[in-house]
Amino acid sequence: MTMPILPKHHPSDERLLDYATGAAAEPMALVIATHLALCARCRHEMHHLDQLGGVLLDDAPQETMSAGCLDRLFARIELPHPPIEIEEPAPMPAINRDIPQPLRHYLDRPLSDMPWRKRGAISELELLPEVSNHATRLLWIRSGAAAPRHTHEGSELTLVLKGSFWDGHGHYGCGDIAEADSDVDHRPIAGDDEDCLCLTVTDAPLKLTSPIGRLINPFLKI
């Protein structure tokens, strides 16, 4: 019997509200949506936010409709329309079934066949390269390995999909979200029991904070 995933670290209320209102950029929304697929608690919170949005719409000032507006609308609805041919979508391949939706939608082949870029004990896969001002990556960190110590010029959202990591500020397991900004200086280290797979999004360049890292910073991009 598969044990349910019970995340302990969740998105901030501000992140959930941005997602609920559609204000979140696609990369950030992808992280939140994938977390929601794993977290019953946050799905419950989103339900309340949706209800609140409905109440606010009900209380909003009513706009005056022009004379005959409904008659014109119903006339358009009743006009005959030619039949629309709907092309059946191609069936999705049965791959990456252990990856929650909607992230799975962005993967067109098995993870092992994706174009990973290896950097020592960390492999990196870029997603959503067309979205400017954001870097969206899958990171595969070998068990026990550490990422470089760094802080952030902007914000970072990291969702654990497999395994776990510790960064000096908290321990994050499957389904957990870690938020970081310029106030956080950390060095994520994957757990010793298994490799750690994460989805991470940044909206500004990282700043390495080790002595050697500071020399590399001028050459870093988002």
In a domain, 73, yes or no: no
Is 80 a residue whose pLDDT tops 90? no
Tokens of 100: 């929650």
**Closest of 56, 213, 204, 80 to residue 148, by C-alpha:** 213
pLDDT for 76 equals 54
pLDDT of residue 202: 96
Span 13-47, pLDDT tens digits: 999 999 999 999 999 999 999 999 999 999 999 98
At 162, phi and psi to the nearest 5? -160, 145
| Own/partner long-range contacts of 44-51 (Cβ < 8 Å, ≥24 apart) | 45/16, 46/16, 46/19, 46/20, 49/16, 49/17, 49/20, 50/20
pLDDT value for 51: 78
Q: What's the rounded Cα separation, in Å, for the pair 91 and 109? A: 13
Confidence of residue 73 (pLDDT cuts 50, 70, 90): low
Please state, in angstroms and rounded to a whole number, the distance separating the CA atoms of residues 80 and 60.
Answer: 35
Query: What is the rounded distance in angstroms from the CA atom of residue 136 to the CA atom of residue 14?
Result: 20
pLDDT, tens digit (0-9, with 9 covering 90-100), for 162-175:
999 999 999 999 99
Look at residue 178 and tell me if it is in a domain: yes
Whether residues 27 and 114 share a domain: the answer is: no
Is 2 contained in some domain? no
Query: pLDDT by residue (tens digit) across 129-141?
Result: 999 999 999 999 9
Q: Is residue 95 part of a domain?
A: no
Average pLDDT of the residues of the chain: 84
Q: Which amino acid appears at position 35 of this protein? A: H
Residues 117 and 51 in one domain: no
Within a domain: residue 88? no
Q: Does residue 91 lie in a domain region?
A: no
Q: Do 52 and 129 reside in the same domain of the chain?
A: no
Model confidence at 48, pLDDT cuts 50, 70, 90, reads confident
Higher pLDDT, 4 or 128: 128
Number of domains, the chain: 2
As given in the structure block, the two tokens for residue 143 are 């068990």
Per-residue model confidence (pLDDT) at position 209 = 86
Which pLDDT belongs to residue 88?
53
- Statement to judge: residues 201 and 128 lie in one domain: yes
Asked whether the beta carbons of 204 and 153 are under 8 A apart, the reply is yes
> Would you say residue 84 lies in a domain?
no
Task: Residue 202: give its domain's CATH number.
Answer: 2.60.120.10
Residue 64 lies in a domain: no
User: How much of the chain, in percent, has pLDDT values that exceed 70?
Assistant: 74
**Residues 100-114, buried b or exposed e (16+ Cβ, 10 A)?**
beebbebbeeebeeb
Whether the Cβ atoms of residue 189 and residue 144 lie closer than 8 Å to each other: yes
Strand-pair category, 165-166 with 156-162: unpaired
Residue 54: CATH number of its domain: 1.10.10.1320
pLDDT value of residue 143: 97
In this prediction, residue 89 carries a pLDDT of 47
Q: What is the pLDDT of residues 112-161, one digit of tens each?
A: 999 999 989 999 999 999 999 999 999 999 999 999 899 999 999 999 99
Whole-number pLDDT of residue 140? 96
Domain with 53 in it: 13-58
For the CA atoms of 139, 144, 145, 148, the dihedral, rounded to the nearest 10 degrees, stands at 90
Same domain, 53 and 114: no
Query: What is the structure's pLDDT at 125?
Result: 97
Rounded Cα distance between 82 and 66, Å, is 29
Structure-model confidence comparison of residues 114 and 71, the more confident one: 114
